Chains A and B, each alone.
Chain A
């Protein structure tokens, strides 16, 4: 019904971390991205349409906004959605898709799996409901083993998806689930907001024009929480993220956790944008970019000193640096004809 204070503080504290990750890790954008969407059984027309619709939207966002090549997006779904899927989401098709990725990708590539549908949790085993035999969390882990040297991320938007974290955790592998346990069996809202996040805009929290999985997670998680608050409902889902491989997922990253870094590095740059410093051949632009980076480093240092300064002194110094940055930014755009 009302905003949660905890979320407020946590999101605020994240702001700096997001910006720092952006500075430190933006080379990851150079890598090629593959996306596999697995849409499970809807059970009725409503859910089949809803789940397939999400996959459609994700594909549209990835292609049109983030420039992911269409042929590198594989969507598997129900037979009832001809023309919208590349194959039926049976276990055999999924296995074949992974084999293809094993052949066609290398260690420099990034692969994002998005699981959409209803999850189940029986006898301590979580799975995604598929046409034919379901795939359990452990089976997903086995399935992805041949791709273990790639940068992998798996986002499970289904109910009862929480146990996927423990089953799939690996260092540098981002695992995001809509629920924190198998017991959260109700229909989830997290998926719709994750799809919305991939549309960019408000989910680009650091306003660098790029979108990381971490930002998408934070956005979707926050909007899900708001949904329950405004509807006056008790939340029946609690999304979580793990990417440090310890299988201990987090709700929101705290200062002493390593979680969040790999997700922040898994980023999408807008179609047509320059992706890394390394691609800039203009030496002047390179110099400006370096100067910008130096200002950003000073900004980071200033933020670290904030608690020791008065608000007035801090703002004064902050403004000075930001004005420098703004001017450099203009210079860079004038030189390159676009943003960084």
Chain B
């Protein structure tokens, strides 16, 4: 097929009258109707075309307008009714389209056939529709042949109206599945259609759809925009835009689709899209109702059926799912899109294994679903079946060469081929070869500790080994997670496979990789125990709770912005936490929702014990909903649960809420957390802050701002009073420039080194990403001669970011002086892994540490490596002799 270029024929044609016998009065009406049509003045079109008589062009405009505005029954009537005939042969095709819109497939078929028999001017378009009707049946080969015939139709110069050219383009788009080169020809046909009638929306929308199908959403938006600039409420253009927005993860998709429904409340495609978006937000029942609305209009609507099937599948209602499939089989037994769509939605519900099986069924029904095949490959890879999955992604990409997910994934795994693989009791760890020596032991240790800790809490072991992939670039991690770069997350759990950023992917203090690893592994436990039925909010919140259980520093901390958002009612209630994750309304709503959800488990554990949390997971596995489980396990209705949780949280953070919200708190966006109140050095600013404190003595920010300002002016005693008050009001404030930092500074200036170090230690224990704070503390401890304190501070800093050689050297030196061989070996191992230029010395020093730890064999190996580089290294030669004596 490739190489059969579409011959170019420039055809200039406006929307021509369909009957040559039009009377002169009709010419004027036609012009008026068209003028209204191109501007989207639907009411005017209908007014002008009312009583159109025998003028087919006027009637055609009327029928199209009625269809666009959702007046489907009226459109059918205008076109001659269900049984026909149409007022003119040239209208049979439109009658067929109107009948299709109300799900009258067989009558539509008859209308299309009538158009062909009558050799209507637009009979080619009718042929396209007939082929489309047969496409998902046993007659698919004939349908494909019919699509193929559109190439000849074009090449022979017979496609000379926009509608015919759009039909050519759509036929080529379908043929493009077997020969992707034909997408370019489809583009050409649509372009020509648009050139023939620049004001006709249909070619533009077709272009947008083609760009969307080839993942070029920027171009797709541009085409839809060209329609919407003239006709802002064109429903088909709005649906196209909404679909593109959904593709891009733009939360406006739902609003855009709903705008289409304002024009046509029963637009099946818009309804199906809204249903899909609702289902993606885990609103299964609502989605089902909307999908049924779509199917009420058009019982054969494939998207509507697909979403309806998905709602059953995701609720484990396999009988319901099968009923929908049976319904599909009555008219489209070879349609694979339903199973493909359900597979895709299963992934949004983290059901990767089911997604693979669904994709296999989809491909049995339609082997040309390249995107489904490639996605199946990605899901296999998420399940840890790397080779099998990679082969499927390769195959998918061969048929869908525009697919960025597949290309990115394949490129990524070309890189991963060079990664190191390490094994531990429960993990297969895949990480960059040049980080393996440093990170490998740390990751192995943390992963196994997390495993043990979570097994103890959850009372079972998920299938092992878990594959843990560590990426040195956030973009690569993102590709692994989604197929595309740009995911802001740090880690992902697919259940049997985890992927996350290496600490080297970001700078020091940007994140705590151990905390992230713990979080992601907790998901694996949740997914396994609930058989992947756990709602996202539940798993995210519980995983964050697990972080805190392991280490109080880990996980998000409540900030001023969090309290303000919560107090202002900007956070969803317990019953709707998913909304805050799926469709955030402000930038920080996702992390705030994680945090809020995590407190749900503090609440449940405190009130009912952890057994109740486990019972929830088991309940989800058994198919229960959150509402049912809240009723069963907590004895509350959802509204009562919302209120009870809110009250509990309010009591827990009573002091912080009072200190950070209310009128005294300066207005700020939810994203802002750091104090900006006051801050000036002049006396006027100080007075203003003092007045603010007088007005609200319990407010945190004015005290922090005043303390900071006084500190900047060297008024240490006064500053200390304010900062201590601020600390009392909000003891968990973890900003590095909070009260504790100020107090540490005050103590340092006074020469109270121990107090300064203690303040820094306290501050460092508030945040999982503290880096500068423990480093400064380590310096102070060194000044004090507090070696143990220095060791602990250095350990905390290097746990967050192990890549700084000088810190590891200091850590080794301190450990040696403390005669702490375990710490000494760790630090020396890290120094060597950081690839120092003086490798002989690094091996030698590592050997010394190992000797001190009694690890003689490894010490011998290391000293050999040192002497291999530097055979004249006298100290190493002596160490070798000492080791031989020792062993």
In the complex, which of the residues A4, A19, A323, A326 contacts B434, with contact meaning CB atoms closer than 8 Å? A4
Contacts of B869 in A (CB 8 A): 15-16, 18-19, 205-207
B804→A322 contact, CB < 8 A: no
A327→B881 contact, CB < 8 A: yes
Interface size, B (range) = 35 or more
Q: Mark A180-208, 1 if CB is under 8 A from B, else 0.
A: 00000000000000000000001111111
Contacts of A222 in B (CB 8 A): 837
In the complex, the chain B residue whose C-beta lies closest to that of A226 is B805
Q: How far is the CA of A222 from the CA of B834 in the complex (A)?
A: 12
Q: Mark A265-301, 1 if CB is under 8 A from B, else 0.
A: 0000000000000000000000000000000100100
In the complex, which of the residues A1, A3, A322 contacts B507, with contact meaning CB atoms closer than 8 Å? A1
In the complex, the chain B residue whose C-beta lies closest to that of A319 is B864
Q: Mark A322-340, 1 if CB is under 8 A from B, else 0.
A: 1101110110000000011
Contacts of A203 in B (CB 8 A): 837-838
Contacts of B216 in A (CB 8 A): none
B876→A11 contact, CB < 8 A: no
Q: How far is the CB of A120 from chain B (nearest CB, A)?
A: 30
In the complex, which of the residues A19, A209, A223 contacts B837, with contact meaning CB atoms closer than 8 Å? A223
In the complex, the chain A residue whose C-beta lies closest to that of B867 is A322
B864→A232 contact, CB < 8 A: no
Q: How far is the CA of A299 from the CA of B869 in the complex (A)?
A: 11
Answer yes or no: B656 CB below 8 A from chain A CBs.
no
Q: How far is the CB of B186 from chain A (nearest CB, A)?
A: 43
B884→A323 contact, CB < 8 A: yes
Answer yes or no: A133 CB below 8 A from chain B CBs.
no
A8→B507 contact, CB < 8 A: no
Q: How far is the CB of B876 from chain A (nearest CB, A)?
A: 7
What are 27 contact pairs spanning A and B, CB under 8 A? A1-B504, A2-B434, A11-B839, A15-B840, A15-B868, A15-B869, A16-B868, A22-B872, A202-B836, A202-B838, A202-B841, A203-B837, A205-B837, A205-B838, A207-B870, A207-B873, A208-B872, A209-B872, A219-B837, A230-B803, A230-B805, A296-B872, A303-B868, A318-B864, A327-B881, A329-B872, A340-B872
Answer yes or no: A68 CB below 8 A from chain B CBs.
no
Q: How far is the CA of A330 from the CA of B841 in the complex (A)?
A: 20
Answer yes or no: B835 CB below 8 A from chain A CBs.
yes
Answer yes or no: B874 CB below 8 A from chain A CBs.
yes
Q: How far is the CA of A276 from the CA of B650 in the complex (A)?
A: 81
Answer yes or no: B609 CB below 8 A from chain A CBs.
no
B870→A329 contact, CB < 8 A: no
**CB neighbors of A among B858-878 (8 A):** 860-861, 864, 866-878
In the complex, the chain B residue whose C-beta lies closest to that of A315 is B864
Contacts of A208 in B (CB 8 A): 870, 872-873
Given contacts A11-B839, A15-B840, A202-B841, contact A296 B871 (CB under 8 A): yes
Contacts of B840 in A (CB 8 A): 15, 205-207
Contacts of A74 in B (CB 8 A): none
A-B residue pairs, 10 tightest by C-beta: A207-B873, A207-B870, A222-B837, A326-B877, A5-B434, A15-B869, A2-B504, A3-B835, A202-B838, A208-B872
In the complex, which of the residues B433, B804, B868 contacts A5, with contact meaning CB atoms closer than 8 Å? B433
In the complex, the chain B residue whose C-beta lies closest to that of A11 is B837
Answer yes or no: B205 CB below 8 A from chain A CBs.
no
Q: How far is the CB of A1 from chain B (nearest CB, A)?
A: 6
Given contact pairs A19-B872, A223-B837, A322-B864, enumerate 16 new A-B contacts (beta carbons under 8 Å): A2-B434, A5-B434, A11-B835, A16-B868, A202-B836, A205-B837, A205-B869, A205-B870, A206-B872, A207-B841, A230-B805, A299-B871, A315-B861, A318-B868, A319-B864, A322-B877
Q: Which of B472, B507, B877 has the most CB of A within 10 A?
A: B877
Answer yes or no: B435 CB below 8 A from chain A CBs.
yes
Contacts of A202 in B (CB 8 A): 836-838, 841
Q: Mark B454-475, 1 if CB is under 8 A from A, else 0.
A: 0000000000000000001000
Contacts of A5 in B (CB 8 A): 433-434
In the complex, the chain A residue whose C-beta lies closest to that of B860 is A319
Contacts of B876 in A (CB 8 A): 207
Q: How far is the CA of A222 from the CA of B434 in the complex (A)?
A: 16
In the complex, the chain B residue whose C-beta lies closest to that of A223 is B837
Answer yes or no: A12 CB below 8 A from chain B CBs.
yes
A232→B837 contact, CB < 8 A: no
B874→A329 contact, CB < 8 A: yes
Q: How far is the CA of A160 from the CA of B868 in the complex (A)?
A: 38
Answer yes or no: A115 CB below 8 A from chain B CBs.
no
In the complex, which of the residues A22, A205, A207, A315 contacts B874, with contact meaning CB atoms closer than 8 Å? A207
Q: Mark A1-41, 1 if CB is under 8 A from B, else 0.
A: 11111011001100110110010000000000000000000
Q: Which of A2, A15, A318 has the most CB of B within 10 A?
A: A2
Given contacts A2-B803, A327-B881, contact A232 B874 (CB under 8 A): no
Number of A interface residues in the complex (CB < 8 A): 44
Answer yes or no: B124 CB below 8 A from chain A CBs.
no
In the complex, the chain B residue whose C-beta lies closest to that of A326 is B877
In the complex, the chain B residue whose C-beta lies closest to that of A231 is B507
Answer yes or no: B120 CB below 8 A from chain A CBs.
no
**CB neighbors of A among B819-860 (8 A):** 834-841, 860
Q: How far is the CA of A3 from the CA of B878 in the complex (A)?
A: 31
Answer yes or no: B880 CB below 8 A from chain A CBs.
yes
Q: How far is the CB of A70 from chain B (nearest CB, A)?
A: 28
Q: How far is the CA of A2 from the CA of B836 in the complex (A)?
A: 12
Q: Mark B782-812, 1 if CB is under 8 A from A, else 0.
A: 0000000000000000000001110000000
In the complex, the chain A residue whose C-beta lies closest to that of B507 is A232
Contacts of A315 in B (CB 8 A): 861, 864
Given contacts A1-B507, A319-B864, A326-B878, contact A19 B871 (CB under 8 A): yes
Q: How far is the CA of A2 from the CA of B437 in the complex (A)?
A: 12
Q: Which of B472, B841, B868 has the most CB of A within 10 A?
A: B868
In the complex, the chain A residue whose C-beta lies closest to that of B807 is A230
Q: How far is the CB of A20 from chain B (nearest CB, A)?
A: 10
In the complex, which of the residues B803, B834, B839, B872 contacts A15, with contact meaning CB atoms closer than 8 Å? B839
A339→B803 contact, CB < 8 A: no
Q: How far is the CB of A296 from chain B (nearest CB, A)?
A: 6
Contacts of B864 in A (CB 8 A): 315, 318-319, 322
In the complex, the chain B residue whose C-beta lies closest to that of A225 is B837
Answer yes or no: A218 CB below 8 A from chain B CBs.
yes
Q: How far is the CA of A299 from the CA of B867 in the complex (A)?
A: 10
In the complex, which of the residues B804, B834, B870 contacts A19, with contact meaning CB atoms closer than 8 Å? B870
**CB neighbors of A among B401-442 (8 A):** 433-435
B835→A8 contact, CB < 8 A: yes
In the complex, the chain B residue whose C-beta lies closest to that of A6 is B434
Contacts of B884 in A (CB 8 A): 323
Q: How far is the CB of A220 from chain B (nearest CB, A)?
A: 9
Q: How far is the CB of A327 from chain B (nearest CB, A)?
A: 7
B870→A15 contact, CB < 8 A: yes
In the complex, the chain A residue whose C-beta lies closest to that of B876 is A207
Q: How far is the CA of A315 from the CA of B872 in the complex (A)?
A: 17
B881→A230 contact, CB < 8 A: no
In the complex, the chain A residue whose C-beta lies closest to that of B806 is A230
In the complex, the chain B residue whose C-beta lies closest to that of A14 is B869
In the complex, the chain A residue whose C-beta lies closest to that of B837 is A222
**CB neighbors of B among A209-247 (8 A):** 209, 218-219, 222-223, 226, 230, 232
B504→A329 contact, CB < 8 A: no
Contacts of B861 in A (CB 8 A): 315
A325→B871 contact, CB < 8 A: yes
Q: How far is the CB of A34 from chain B (nearest CB, A)?
A: 27
Contacts of B434 in A (CB 8 A): 2-5, 8
Contacts of B867 in A (CB 8 A): 318, 322, 325
In the complex, the chain A residue whose C-beta lies closest to that of B883 is A319
In the complex, the chain B residue whose C-beta lies closest to that of A209 is B872
Contacts of A22 in B (CB 8 A): 872
Q: How far is the CB of B47 from chain A (nearest CB, A)?
A: 66
